[in-house]
Amino acid sequence: MKLEDIKKILILGAGTMGQQIGFWFASHQYDVTIYDISEDILQTAQSRIKELSDQMVTFEKIDKQKAQDALTRIVYTTDMEQAAKDADFISESVPEKPELKGRIFNQFHQLCKPETIFTTNTSTLLPSMFADATGRPERFCAFHFHDIRMTAVIDIMPHSATDPEITNLISALAEKVKLIPIVMKKENVGYVFNFLLSGFLSSALTLAQKDVAPIPEIDQAWIGVMNTHAGPFGIMDSIGLDTVYSVTNFWASKSNDKQALANAAFLKKYVDAGKKGVKSGEGFYQYQA
């Protein structure tokens, strides 16, 4: 497969990152299909992508006409066969569970053409954890987006069996859609930025879990010294507390670290109460709809 052969992008998972990735490709004139298991989820995604489109125009990341054109290039479906048909490139953003990701990829492996490239947008898992389950490990690697409203940086992380030509092709695709690829030489949990970020957020959670200081004051300490717009808890609300919990709990369970397990339990109380951050209207803070 050559760069010009990539025409249809398939997004697996219509959550926050799936929405952003789908819109980004559509805004660069790719046909995009967004797949999820629920019509309700897809309807919510369609509404939020429209909001994202408006934000990108406001932030002057894209002009109004291109934003409107992008919305017309996105198709939403719960039908796996329809989603897989003619897909050239897959970007997956389902919950951070290796078994779930592997199972979904394997289902699409049965439906997609042999040359389709598979990528995962996982935040902290390693592609080698479920590469074999994809059915095409040599055509699979991590292709990780950050918030497209803030940065064009993207992480590309192959695993040991990824064909180097596929890595190069994915890097070329990133550049074609005006992204800044950070191509890693080896697997590393959290890539580069997220590796740094995870330590930062873990420290903040430890302070809150131990009741060292109130959450707003922990955030204010960071904001006041570093002159940023958000502190660690505001950042976690933006990411989604369900995602932060899933990642924290996964690695805490792997390491059996007592403080990490306590931090996961601290997060779980918020998630169980439906407080998932910005996307639910409330997390550590409250947000207007």
Q: What is the pLDDT of residues 180-198, one digit of tens each?
A: 999 999 999 889 998 899 8
Q: Is 87:116 a contact under the CB 8 Å cutoff? A: yes
Q: 19-54 pLDDT, tens per residue?
A: 999 999 999 999 999 999 999 999 999 999 999 999
User: Is pLDDT of 254 > 90?
Assistant: no
Q: How far is CA 139 from CA 2, 40, 132, in A?
A: 13, 32, 11
**pLDDT recorded at residue 250:** 85
**pLDDT recorded at residue 96:** 85
The topology under which CATH files domain 193-280 is: N-(1-d-carboxylethyl)-l-norvaline Dehydrogenase; domain 2 (1.10.1040)
Give the residue-averaged pLDDT of 54-64. 92
Q: What is the CATH number of domain 3-183?
A: 3.40.50.720
User: In this prediction, what percent of the chain has a pLDDT beyond 90?
Assistant: 90
Considering the entire predicted model, what is its pTM? Answer: 0.80
User: Is pLDDT of 289 > 80?
Assistant: no
* Every domain of the chain and the residues it spans: 3-183, 193-280
Closest CA to 61 of 27, 108, 33: 27
Q: What separation, in Å, do the N-terminal and C-terminal C-alpha atoms of the chain show?
A: 43
**pLDDT recorded at residue 120:** 98
Between 153 and 251, the higher pLDDT residue: 153
User: Is pLDDT of 277 > 70?
Assistant: yes
